Amino acid sequence: MNQINASIITIGDELLIGQTIDTNSAFIAQELNKIGVWVMRRVAVADSHEAILNTLSDEAKQADIIIITGGLGPTADDITKPALCDYFNTELREDEAATENVKTIFQKSGRPLTERNLSQGLVPANCIVLPNARGTAPGMYFQNDGVSYFSLPGVPHEMRGLMHSGVVPKIKETFQLPAVVHRTLLTAGIGESFLADRIQDFENALPGPIKLAYLPAYGMVRLRLTGRSENKEAIEQEVAKNFEELKSLVNEWLVADEDISIQEAVVKLLKERKQTVATAESCTGGAIAQLITSIAGASAVYNGTVVSYSNEVKENILGVGKETLQQYGAVSEQTVTEMAGSVCRLMKTDYALATSGIMGPDGGSEEKPVGTVWIAVAHKNGKVKAQKMAFRFDRFRNIELTTHTAFNMLRRFIMEEEVN
């Protein structure tokens, strides 16, 4: 099979001192995978002329496609363009369209245009400019010794636009690509090694061109089948057949049979049922709301949240009894149950979800150590279910585990409700 290999090179000291988390590479890798290009390596290098040149020539030995991001800004630490000129043994030239684009962007924003900004219209003489509709730094495409090079700005929004408008079309034009089929499912409530024991025979019996991968997250495991072939239809069918078998093997813990998050699965379930949910969050501090509302169209099923970070808010807005709080404390079955019931009535929803816990690093006691969390789900008919969790991680992970567990509780509660 004719496999096209790509390398992604990200440039910037900020990546090497850990000040920036590289989300660009993941996006680029996704887009390349969709069109059947295999990302062989991802390399991050410093804002150093020598390091950039060495990495370019190293990667060019193995890759058919090299995608470079970063170092195209207007400041002195942005050195990708001079490095590319050296690498291709050429000089900068002005690209009129790119210069016009800079001028237009500054005109629209009403900001004064400086020499420094105008220099963004300069590009290595051997490149084809890929117009950047979202910013001042042009994308660049180079063909050299059979390798295709793309240089993109590091600003994620601009890079994404250029991947769609420039890079992907150019690659499709240039290469004959194999078909790649991914099918992913999401499980919750079963550990990776138990899952592995359960599907061991299935995994061993998989045909050669299909690969299984485990992608664990806190409290959840994704399973992904990937098939590659020149025959698109055949591989699609073969992956689909194996995917059905995999689904039936893990059915008990199956959250979604597609590559979505658990919150997307919950939103989808509610949309199908034309039902709504509201949340009352204490320890998760808005994390649940934020995850739901980051899904476009969530407003059809989600009315809102009350984040009660003080007992006063629990009393005044959520109407949790003063006595409940005094007798049992904020982190208790009684409080979280009242929170869920109350927000369900207040926001007039079918379901409600409430959390209260101690996330750390401070606030724990012997009776209720850090990681103690109560989660409740409620239905407008008055039915409530509450569960206590004991997590043992840091603040960030405890919040993440709580949100995952809460979404899974809500999902199961909705599905049980349907049965009754």
Token pair belonging to 100: 């016009």
C-beta of 90 vs 317, nearer to a second copy:
317
Give the shortest CB-124-to-a second copy separation in angstroms: 21
Of 94, 96, 258, 394, the residue at the interface with a second copy (CB under 8 A) is: 394
Residue 316 within binding range of a second copy, rule CB under 8 A: yes
Of 82, 88, 92, 117, the residue at the interface with a second copy (CB under 8 A) is: 117
Buried residues in 104-131 as b, exposed as e (16+ CB within 10 A)? ebbeeeeeeeeeebbbbbbbbebbebbe
C-beta of 122 vs 196, nearer to a second copy:
196
C-beta of 49 vs 182, nearer to a second copy:
182
C-beta of 116 vs 322, nearer to a second copy:
116
Residue 313 within binding range of a second copy, rule CB under 8 A: yes
Q: Which phi and psi angles does 311 have, rounded to 5°?
A: -65, -30
Positions 164 through 193 that interact with a second copy (CB under 8 A): 182, 184, 191-193
Give the shortest CB-25-to-a second copy separation in angstroms: 7
Positions 132 through 161 that interact with a second copy (CB under 8 A): 155-157
Residue 362 within binding range of a second copy, rule CB under 8 A: yes
Q: 23: how many CB neighbours lie within 10 A of its CB?
A: 10
Of 4, 45, 265, 375, the residue at the interface with a second copy (CB under 8 A) is: 45
Of 3, 104, 114, 327, the residue at the interface with a second copy (CB under 8 A) is: 114
CA distance 91 to 104: 25
Those residues whose C-beta lies under 8 Å from the C-beta of residue 81, and which sit 6 or more positions away, are 71, 72, 92, 122, 123, 124, 151
Of 103, 383, 397, 412, the residue at the interface with a second copy (CB under 8 A) is: 397
CA distance 66 to 8: 6
CA distance 343 to 60: 58
> ω before 361 within 30° of 0 (cis)?
yes
Residue 194 within binding range of a second copy, rule CB under 8 A: yes
Burial class from Cβ neighbours inside 10 Å (0-12, 13-18, 19+) for residue 373 reads buried
Give the shortest CB-332-to-a second copy separation in angstroms: 17
Of 189, 304, 319, 369, the residue at the interface with a second copy (CB under 8 A) is: 304
Instruction: Determine the length of the chain.
Output: 420
Residue 393 within binding range of a second copy, rule CB under 8 A: yes
Residue 253 within binding range of a second copy, rule CB under 8 A: no
Positions 18 through 37 that interact with a second copy (CB under 8 A): 18-23, 25-31, 33
Q: Are 154 and 69 in contact (CB under 8 A)?
A: yes
CA distance 420 to 418: 6
Give the shortest CB-158-to-a second copy separation in angstroms: 10
Residue 229 within binding range of a second copy, rule CB under 8 A: no
C-beta of 126 vs 279, nearer to a second copy:
279
Positions 196 through 225 that interact with a second copy (CB under 8 A): 196-197, 203, 211-216, 222, 224
Q: 157: how many CB neighbours lie within 10 A of its CB?
A: 10
Token pair belonging to 367: 């009776």
Positions 64 through 93 that interact with a second copy (CB under 8 A): 73-77
Give the shortest CB-317-to-a second copy separation in angstroms: 6
Q: Give the contact letters, 256-285, x = binds to a second copy (CB under 8 A), - = no.
A: ---x------------------x--x--xx
CA distance 82 to 57: 16
C-beta of 85 vs 399, nearer to a second copy:
399
If phi > 0 it is left, if psi is from -120 to 50 it is alpha, else beta; for residue 90 that is: beta
Helix, strand or coil for residue 7? strand
